[in-house]
Structure 1
Amino acid sequence: MAGAERLGAALAHRLGRRVAAVGAPEPPIPGAWRAQLTAARPALRGLADALALALNDPFPTATVMGRCAAALATLPVVAQRHPDACVVWFDAHGDVNTPGAADVGYLGGMVVSAACGLWDSGLGAGLALDRVVLVAARDLDPPEQALIASGALRHLPVGPDLPARLAEAVAGRPVYVHLDVDSLDAGLVPSEYQVADGLPFADLHAACKGLADQRLIGLEIAEFEDAWPDGRPGDTAPLLAALDPLLRVLASNTGTA
């Protein structure tokens, strides 16, 4: 939550928007993912309500969340309000595991699959898997690799011509962008999960420049930590600079971040 607060404040200042906070910092919930989901569900429902209210306005939304698991609340709302939208999911992980399909034990690893109705989180579904574009994933579990290999899930790996590949995958649809900062190369941004061979800032900027040409529904950012393990504070400036093309779209409107 501390990282989300830091990044949220910087983002709101950059966009000239006010912040609407949902939830409050609490100690980590012990136990397996089911216990964590049960404890978090009231706050996640509050987040879903807040996003639904924000989507009543005609301009794109901006959301900062501590963990990707919070998207259990946001993706079903986007799917309901914008059934034609493409969700561009920047993440080092697939997040399409399901309970029992893999020994993940991690709620954040089952976010997209819940939104797509592959299991019931109690927070809704409605997102078609073929409307998800996974970008920069490189730490994938076997069930996730199987979905990609079958063609059920579109995956764009790190590499040349990402903006062109993204444009082809989005195919002119409205876009809702989720950015887990672990999609970036290890060492660039403080996050709990550091995965090598990710996106450099320049590649993220180029991808955002292409996405800014689409109709943007919203941007959500997850997993930014307040500090590095050695105590250095997290610097939001390089990340926001990489996101600048999308932030320019957001800043051209007014509303709530």
Structure 2
Amino acid sequence: MRFAYTVFQGRAGDHNDLAIPGAKAIGEELARRTGVIPTTIGVPEPCLNIGWREELDAAMPALQEMQERLSGIFERGMVSIAATSRCAVSLATLPAVARHHPSACVVWFDAHGDLNTPDTTTTGYLGGLALAGPAGLWDCGLGAGLSPNRIVLVGQRDLDPFEMELIERYQIPHIKPTDDLAAGLRRAIDGRPVYVHLDCDVLDPGIVPTDYKHDGGLSLANLHECCRVIAEHDVVGIEIAEFQNAWAPNDEPVSPAPLLDALRPILEKASDLSDR
């Protein structure tokens, strides 16, 4: 196989306990489609819902294990397909991408920029610092190496003033939901290899369960269109974050199958997702 599945099950600054089983559900659906069982990183624990420093300390052992996992995948020349529960896991994954794929750009699908630092955050949420750490804007203890000119933002519609100033200062491509998504992505990727981060809140609320809800997001058809463009390039990996397995605690589980169907062009670059 030229791909490797990973499911992250540790703490990662969770506000609730719905994303850990959400990541597990994605792994189970991938296994059902391909017969390949994911490697699990971390052990589920109840959310803490506290400040970023304490959350990072609690998550650090699992995040370090996750970073080692991705480094090993890339060292073997394989593509990483991961269900990462929360965006904060990118503090571990993106430095590994930067080290092993220095020419790759990171296409960051998200309603937010996640470019705040501990000094600029107004919420203290660890996930809001998730892209800023790998970009070297603060030291989370897991490394950096991702230069701003390798970041492509897609779908953001809830940006803080500090983040907007950074985007302007570094001329980071920002493809809005109302833009021509295909044309904007092709232009921003510019033929480079691609690593994809998908925060499911990039989608319009009501499509899949997520922690945050912001109107004006992408549809599954929009996401599929973006994935078709990305699949025209060399895809080195994808991480799927912020899929919650239910709309509320104790609700019936929600299948990730429609989400994975939208991602199919990217997933098929690395694996055979035909049902068996």
Q: TM-score, normalised by structure 1?
A: 0.94
Query: Distance between the aligned counterparts of 2:151 and 2:37, measured in 1?
Result: 29
Match for residue 119 of structure 1? 138
Match for residue 184 of structure 1? 203
Please give the secondary structure, in 2, of the residue aligned with 1:140: coil
Query: Distance between the aligned counterparts of 1:198 and 1:223, measured in 2?
Result: 15
Q: Where do 1:215-234 residues align within 5 Å?
A: 215-229=234-248, 231-234=251-254
Q: Deviations over 1:154-178 (max 9, x none)?
A: 2111124211110110000000000
Query: Distance between the aligned counterparts of 2:211 and 2:67, measured in 1?
Result: 25
Match for residue 199 of structure 1? 218
Match for residue 239 of structure 1? 259
The letter of the residue matching 2:224 is H
Please give the secondary structure, in 2, of the residue aligned with 1:65: strand
Match for residue 60 of structure 2? 41
Q: TM-score, normalised by structure 2?
A: 0.88
Compared CA separation, residues 245 and 106, structure 1 to 2 (3 A): same
- State, as a whole percentage, how many aligned pairs show the same letter: 47
Match for residue 110 of structure 1? 129
Q: Aligned match of 1:248 in 268, 271, 276?
A: 268
Q: Deviations over 1:176-207 (max 9, x none)?
A: 00000000111000111121110001110000
Please give the secondary structure, in 2, of the residue aligned with 1:217: strand
Match for residue 229 of structure 2? 210
Q: Aligned match of 1:51 in 70, 81, 97?
A: 70
Q: Where do 1:112-191 residues align within 5 Å?
A: 112-191=131-210
Cα offset, 1:148, TM superposition: 2.0
Q: Deviations over 1:33-65 (max 9, x none)?
A: 101101110110000001111112333110001
Higher mean C-alpha deviation, range 152-161 or range 98-107:
152-161
Does the CA contact (< 8 Å) of 1:15 and 1:250 recur in 2? Answer: no
Does the CA contact (< 8 Å) of 1:16 and 1:251 recur in 2? Answer: no
Higher mean C-alpha deviation, range 87-96 or range 145-154:
145-154
Please give the secondary structure, in 2, of the residue aligned with 1:40: helix
The letter of the residue matching 1:155 is H
The letter of the residue matching 2:120 is A
Q: Deviations over 1:225-251 (max 9, x none)?
A: 111127132121210111111111121
The letter of the residue matching 1:74 is T
Query: Distance between the aligned counterparts of 1:185 and 1:237, measured in 2?
Result: 17
Does the CA contact (< 8 Å) of 1:88 and 1:134 recur in 2? Answer: yes
Match for residue 88 of structure 1? 107
Does the CA contact (< 8 Å) of 2:107 and 2:152 recur in 1? Answer: yes
The letter of the residue matching 1:246 is I
The letter of the residue matching 1:87 is V
Which one has more relative contact order, counting CA pairs under 8 Å at least 6 apart? 1
Please give the secondary structure, in 2, of the residue aligned with 1:248: helix
Cα offset, 1:14, TM superposition: 2.5
What is the root-mean-square deviation of aligned Cα atoms in Å?
1.5
Q: Aligned match of 2:120 in 86, 101, 104?
A: 101
Does the CA contact (< 8 Å) of 2:121 and 2:128 recur in 1? Answer: no
Aligned residues: 253
Higher mean C-alpha deviation, range 129-138 or range 147-156:
147-156
Unaligned segments of structure 1, at least 5 residues: none
Query: Distance between the aligned counterparts of 1:208 and 1:89, measured in 2?
Result: 12
Q: Aligned match of 2:39 in 20, 23, 27?
A: 20
Match for residue 3 of structure 2? none
Match for residue 96 of structure 2? 77
